């Protein structure tokens, strides 16, 4: 065993550049798939609220698939499988423009949309029926009662679950390494294989991941506190 | 469609048990063994971690809380890489990918399960602890015979869903070449080369069948437990009604009895 030599990893401009690139890529993949997931989750939620039975069970199947198939398998299916079914021109375009990252964003985003839509739905279901009845009795339209009465409470109730799933989405961005996205875990292994400083390289990655996760969790706690309804206990 | 059937017909044994008689056990058998062993070994670990986490002793509570935060804040993939690198250094001999993955799962799922167990213990009414103390039970007897049996029973559905996550987490063993289902599918894909969609589609459907079956079971168990708990509360409230105290006063003075 050699001495703990963190400075070699941190001060070498080559390694530092690689780590910075990795962090950036992780943030891009995580943020991109978060946006995709949230947008899609709102669409899924809206579909689920419509009275159509077929549309509802379609969403239920979507959610069941994405919750029960491992995220890594979904990534592989997109990157190795579905990419292969696309027209050749599109395949070439994708391989010229960071196709791995695009497929990672698509796969992680579609997967996480299922979780987000369930979080939002259970937030909605936690609001007792009396709330919407009272809003309607006061003369609010359906949209008005949603906008001013139901959603503000439902989103507050959904915040803790949304934050948890945001953290797990962030951590899942490391799986993109398996399809060759040059995010943090990928770059750390690269640093490790060039410097042979395994312990130091992994320590750097662990500290970076932990800092970003704790930042997300902390932001979530601050959000939940900020939007708390006065006098109500934080759950 | 026919190519799907062809792939399954040619490779079903590889998907099921890997190259077993001639090599290490693989395929879905390895996935299931890995996750069952992982969750069974993680279970006692999680109880110890949970008890340490709610212990009044600071030297016990703080390190465990730190460990749980680190495990929850770092991707599983990185923890696998850590184990892969650190464990052979610590024990001084090389270990197989399977063992590496098993050790990682015990640590990782142990930490996650311990949060489930902790929630289960803390969700019990304080009266349970107080009554057990009043009866003169020691800490061990209290936990072993009063608190844990109730907490663990209520936590059964969450544990089942943790088992489902464990099955999904075993796929990451692919990165350190553990011979499990995802690894087998990649082997098949490398052999055939021309039908990646079909191969990974079969893989996804297989995982879906296993995990969906288990999550339906979890839902079923959850409903039964909810049903039993409801029945339990009704019996407990009955004597109060017999002495004709207005229900409002009873529930206001003892909020813990409310379901």
pLDDT value of residue B249: 37
d(CA A134, CA B234): 31
Q: What digits encode the pLDDT tens for the residues A215-235?
A: 999 999 998 888 877 655 554
Nearest-Cα residue of chain A relative to residue B85: A198
Q: Do B208 and A65 touch (CB under 8 A)?
A: yes
Angle between helices B58-73 and B97-123 (to 10 degrees): 120
Q: What digits encode the pLDDT tens for the residues B29-84?
A: 999 999 999 999 999 999 999 999 999 899 999 999 999 999 999 999 999 999 99
Q: What digits encode the pLDDT tens for the residues A62-118?
A: 999 999 999 999 999 999 988 888 888 888 888 888 788 999 999 999 999 999 999
- Best B79, B105, B170, B171 member to test A by mutation, with max A CBs in 10 Å, is B171
pLDDT value of residue A230: 64
Name the E strands within chain B.
none
Classify residue A98: in a domain, yes or no: yes
For B130-142, b/e burial (b = at least 16 CB within 10 A) is eebeeeebeeeeb
Q: What is the DSSP letter of B56?
A: S
Chain B residue numbers with beta carbons less than 8 Å from the beta carbon of A178 are 174-175
pLDDT value of residue A196: 86
Q: What digits encode the pLDDT tens for the residues B115-159?
A: 999 999 999 999 999 999 999 999 999 999 999 999 998 888 888
Classify residue A68: in a domain, yes or no: yes
pLDDT value of residue A96: 80
Contact B226, A100 (CB under 8 A): no
Segment A28-41 shows an average pLDDT of 95
Alpha carbon separation from A196 to A9, A71, B82 (Å, rounded): 10, 30, 14
Please enumerate residues of B whose Cβ is less than 8 A from a Cβ of A.
69-70, 72-78, 81-82, 85-86, 89, 164, 167-169, 171-172, 174-175, 182, 185-186, 189, 196-201, 203-204, 207-208, 211-212, 215
Taking 90 as the threshold, does the pLDDT of residue B211 lie above it? yes
How many domains would you assign to chain A? Answer: 1
Classify residue A47: in a domain, yes or no: yes
Where on the phi/psi map is residue A202: left (φ > 0), alpha (ψ -120 to 50), or beta? Answer: alpha
A22 exposed, middle or buried (CB, 10 Å; 0-12, 13-18, 19+)? buried
Q: Do B197 and A77 touch (CB under 8 A)?
A: yes
Please enumerate residues of A whose Cβ is less than 8 A from a Cβ of B.
1, 64-65, 67-74, 76-77, 80-82, 84-85, 167, 171-175, 177-178, 185, 188-189, 198-199, 202, 205-206, 209-210, 213-214, 217
Enter the ipTM: 0.88
Nearest to A16, CA basis, from A172, A212, A194: A194
Q: Please give the model's pTM, rounded to 2 decimal places.
A: 0.86
Alpha carbon separation from A80 to A71, A196, B174 (Å, rounded): 14, 31, 15
- Best A61, A65, A76, A183 member to test B by mutation, with max B CBs in 10 Å, is A76
Classify residue A179: in a domain, yes or no: yes
Segment B110-118 shows an average pLDDT of 93
d(CA B90, CA B88): 5
Q: Do B204 and A167 touch (CB under 8 A)?
A: no
pLDDT value of residue B247: 41
Q: Do B85 and A82 touch (CB under 8 A)?
A: no
pLDDT value of residue A142: 86
Q: Do A73 and B204 touch (CB under 8 A)?
A: yes
- B2-209 CATH choice from 1.10.3720.10, 3.40.50.970, 3.30.1240.10, 3.30.830.10: 1.10.3720.10
Q: Tokens 């069952």: give the residue.
A: B36
Nearest to A226, CA basis, from A126, A159, A149: A159
Classify residue A31: in a domain, yes or no: yes
Chain B residue numbers with beta carbons less than 8 Å from the beta carbon of A2 are none
Q: What digits encode the pLDDT tens for the residues B183-207?
A: 999 988 998 888 889 999 999 999 9
Q: Do A64 and B212 touch (CB under 8 A)?
A: yes
Min Cα distance A179 → chain B (Å) is 11
- Contacts (Cβ under 8 Å, ≥6 apart) of A223: A159, A163
CATH number of domain containing A94: 1.10.3720.10
The DSSP bridge partners found for residue B25 are B18
- Contacts (Cβ under 8 Å, ≥6 apart) of B29: B16, B17, B18, B20
pLDDT value of residue B233: 53
Classify residue A232: in a domain, yes or no: no
pLDDT value of residue A98: 79
Segment B105-116 shows an average pLDDT of 94
The closest CB to that of B189, out of A65, A80, A205, belongs to A80
Q: What digits encode the pLDDT tens for the residues A166-206?
A: 999 999 999 999 998 999 999 999 998 988 888 889 999 99
Q: Do B175 and A70 touch (CB under 8 A)?
A: no
Q: Do A82 and B197 touch (CB under 8 A)?
A: yes
């Amino acid at each position: 065993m050699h001495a703990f030599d963190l400075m070699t990893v941190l001060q070498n401009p080559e390694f530092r550049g690689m780590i910075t690139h990795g962090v950036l890529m992780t943030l891009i993949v995580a943020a991109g798939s978060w946006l995709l997931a949230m947008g899609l989750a709102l669409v899924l939620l809206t579909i689920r609220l419509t009275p159509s039975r077929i549309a509802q069970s379609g969403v239920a199947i979507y959610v069941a698939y994405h919750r029960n198939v491992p995220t890594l398998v979904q990534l592989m299916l997109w990157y190795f499988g579905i990419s292969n079914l696309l027209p050749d021109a599109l395949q070439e375009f994708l391989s010229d423009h960071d196709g791995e990252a695009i497929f990672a964003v698509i796969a992680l985003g579609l997967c996480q949309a299922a979780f987000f839509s369930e979080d939002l739905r259970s937030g909605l279901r936690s609001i007792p029926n009396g709330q919407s009845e009272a809003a309607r009795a006061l003369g609010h339209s359906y949209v008005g009662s949603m906008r001013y009465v139901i959603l503000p409470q439902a989103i507050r109730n959904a915040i803790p679950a949304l934050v948890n799933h945001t953290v797990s989405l962030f951590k899942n961005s490391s799986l993109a390494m398996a399809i060759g996205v040059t995010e943090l875990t990928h770059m750390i292994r690269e640093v490790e294989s060039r410097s042979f400083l395994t312990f130091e390289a992994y320590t750097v990655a662990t500290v970076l991941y932990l800092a970003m996760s704790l930042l997300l969790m902390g932001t979530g706690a601050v959000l939940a506190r900020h939007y708390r309804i006065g006098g109500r206990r934080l759950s | 469609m026919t190519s799907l059937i062809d792939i399954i017909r040619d490779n079903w044994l590889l998907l099921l048990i890997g190259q077993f008689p001639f090599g290490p056990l693989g395929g879905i058998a390895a996935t299931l063994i890995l996750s069952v062993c992982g969750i069974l070994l993680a279970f006692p670990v999680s109880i110890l971690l949970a008890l340490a986490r709610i212990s009044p002793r600071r030297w016990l509570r703080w390190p465990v809380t730190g460990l749980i935060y680190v495990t929850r804040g770092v991707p599983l993939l990185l923890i696998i890489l850590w184990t892969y690198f650190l464990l052979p250094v610590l024990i001084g001999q090389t270990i197989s990918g399977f063992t590496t993955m098993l050790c990682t799962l015990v640590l990782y799922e142990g930490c996650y399960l311990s949060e489930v167990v902790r929630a289960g213990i803390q969700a019990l009414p304080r009266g349970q602890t107080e009554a057990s103390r009043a009866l003169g039970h020691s800490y061990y007897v209290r936990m072993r015979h009063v608190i844990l049996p109730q907490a663990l029973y209520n936590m059964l559905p969450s544990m089942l869903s943790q088992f489902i996550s464990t099955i999904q987490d075993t796929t990451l063993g692919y990165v350190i070449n553990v011979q499990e289902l995802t690894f087998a599918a990649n082997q098949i894909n490398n052999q055939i080369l021309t039908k990646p969609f079909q191969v990974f589609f079969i893989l996804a459907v297989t995982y879906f069948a296993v995990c969906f079956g288990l999550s339906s079971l979890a839902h079923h168990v959850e409903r039964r437990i909810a049903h039993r708990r409801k029945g339990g509360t009704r019996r407990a409230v009955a004597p109060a009604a017999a002495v004709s105290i207005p229900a409002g006063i009873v529930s206001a003075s003892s909020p813990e009895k409310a379901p």
